[in-house]
Structures are given as structure tokens and as C-alpha cells.
Structure 1
Amino acid sequence: MTGRHIIRAGQGGGRDVFEYALLRVVPRVERGECVNAGVLLYCRAKAFVVARTHLDEARLLALDPDADVAGVRAALRAVEGVCAGGEAAGQAGQDDAGRRFRWLVAPRSTVVRPGPVHTGLTTDPAAEAERLLDLLVR
């Protein structure tokens, strides 16, 4: 058929499909306000998962002057650790990249929580995570 292309997994003009979600800090659930504090990114074709974080303390404290900044930083480090995998990440760190991503983006009622999952195409998942962090968080 003319004008139609079939794109198979891993074939996007040298680009691979990736999924990402923002990490949001919700210091006071009753107010519904949040601060974007990171990006989770998963690329199945590369078996790649990463969390890139940046906490703007001033923004967080503007929403809640009593926010537990140290606790939020610890939660963000824990997410980064699960993405890195290995023994230090506990049981979830032993799973493959896709399972770690799915576990991290599952809805939860904590101060640090994932937003909806979105998709895109990239040639470099690590650079894409940095780009998204700059665009959506910093």
C-alpha cells in the first residue's frame, strides 16, 4: 500500500519507543498541589530504566513550609536506587528493567508519587531523560 509504513518494535528511523512518568511531590494531599521532582524513563528495546531527579526546595516549602525535605530527598534517592537495580535496591532491584518501571509507576498514596505514563521515540534514552528533566522539572 502506498503511503503506509509499518513500524516494528525498535524500528522508528533508528529511534526506540520509550515510556516516561513524572515524579511528583504532593506535600499536602488535601490541597491537591504538587511539585515535579523527577522523571522515570523506560526503554524496552534497550532494557533501560532510569530516574533523574531534581528537588526545588523553595517550591516545595512554598506549598508546605513544614514539608519533610529530608524525607522527600530520601524517597527520591530510593526511586533512583530501584532504577539502578542490584542488591542495594532490595527485592525490586532484582527484577528486570520493565518490572522495576511498572512497579515505580503504579499508583500510590505517598508524598512522592508517579504521574501518568507517556510515550515517545528516542535514539538515546539517557539523554532523553535529561531533556525531560530540564523541560518538565527544572
Structure 2
Amino acid sequence: MSLQGYQYVVLRCVPRVEREEFVNVGVVLYSQGADFLEAGYAVDEARLRALAPGVEAAEVRDALEAVCRVCRGETGGGLPDLGSPGRRFGWLSAPRSTVVQPGPVHGGLTADPRAELAGLVERMVG
């Protein structure tokens, strides 16, 4: 299998933007060559509670599920209609002031985007 380029962002839960503290909660990976756009996540409730006792893990999971729905191209119910996976990744990786925010865009090469995403979630979030 040939190597494909990819880009990814780590998703962060940033409960109080002014404190610039966050906990990693997910990853979005996009590979144009492999026609792949997916997100994976894991919310460590103990870490989240330690950082921000008032933030509900269920609300963070809901925000992460919305990211997954955008990756799949779902629309409606407040989700944008963005068309191509590249446009959806651009929207997901754009800076925003919400509780779940993307970090900087990084890139690499992989023969298996799905396995790469799982590995990134394990290393960056787990």
C-alpha cells in the first residue's frame, strides 16, 4: 500500500479560555489522497473534573459527536453544509472560542489513515 499525506488537529477541551488551560479530548484526521476524514475521541472524566469541576463530560462528548457528524458530512440541526471533506476539515480546524477547540494543524504520511487516527488518539488523548 502506498503512503498518503494527511493532516490532523488535536481537539482540546478549553473550559476557561482566559486561563489557556486545556485537556486533549480528540483528534480529527484528513487525508485527501485516501478520501478519508474522521474524528476519534476519549474523554477522561477525572482529568476533566480536575481541570474544570463545572464542565459536564456529557456536554463535551456531545460537542465531539457533532465533530464526528461533520466529518461524515451530516447536515441540519445546526451543522454546516460544507460539501467536500477538505472544506469540512478546514471548518473543523479553524480557530474558535468554544469549549472544544482545535489545536494547530500537523501532518504526516501513512499507509492506513484509520490506524493512524487510532494511534494519534491513543498517544495524544489517552
TM-score by length of 1: 0.85
Aligned residues: 126
Structure 1: segments with no counterpart, 5+ residues: 1-12
Equivalent-residue separation in structure 2 for 1:57 and 1:27 (angstroms): 13
Alignment CA distance shift 1:82-1:89 (3 Å): farther
Give the match for residue 126 of structure 1.
114
Alignment CA distance shift 1:115-1:89 (3 Å): farther
Instruction: Pick 1 or 2: higher relative contact order, CA cutoff 8 A, min separation 6.
Output: 2
Equivalent-residue separation in structure 2 for 1:59 and 1:133 (angstroms): 16
Equivalent-residue separation in structure 2 for 1:66 and 1:90 (angstroms): 25
> Percent identity among equivalent residues?
51
- State the shift of 1:87 in Å: 4.1
Give the match for residue 45 of structure 2.
57
Q: For the Cα contact (< 8 Å) 1:15–1:122, is it kept in 2?
A: yes
TM-score by length of 2: 0.92
Equivalent-residue separation in structure 1 for 2:17 and 2:74 (angstroms): 32
Give the match for residue 92 of structure 1.
80
Q: For the Cα contact (< 8 Å) 2:70–2:79, is it kept in 1?
A: no
CA offset digits 1:29-75 (Å, max 9, x no partner) = 22211000000000010221001011111101101111132221110
- State the shift of 1:130 in Å: 0.1
Q: Which has the larger radius of gyration?
A: 1
- State the shift of 1:94 in Å: 5.2
What SS class does the counterpart of residue 92 from structure 1 fall into? Answer: coil
User: RMSD between aligned alpha carbons?
Assistant: 1.7
- State the one-letter code of the partner of 1:130: A
More helix per residue: 1 or 2? 1
Runs of 4+ in 1 over 6 A off after TM superposition: none
Structure 2: segments with no counterpart, 5+ residues: none
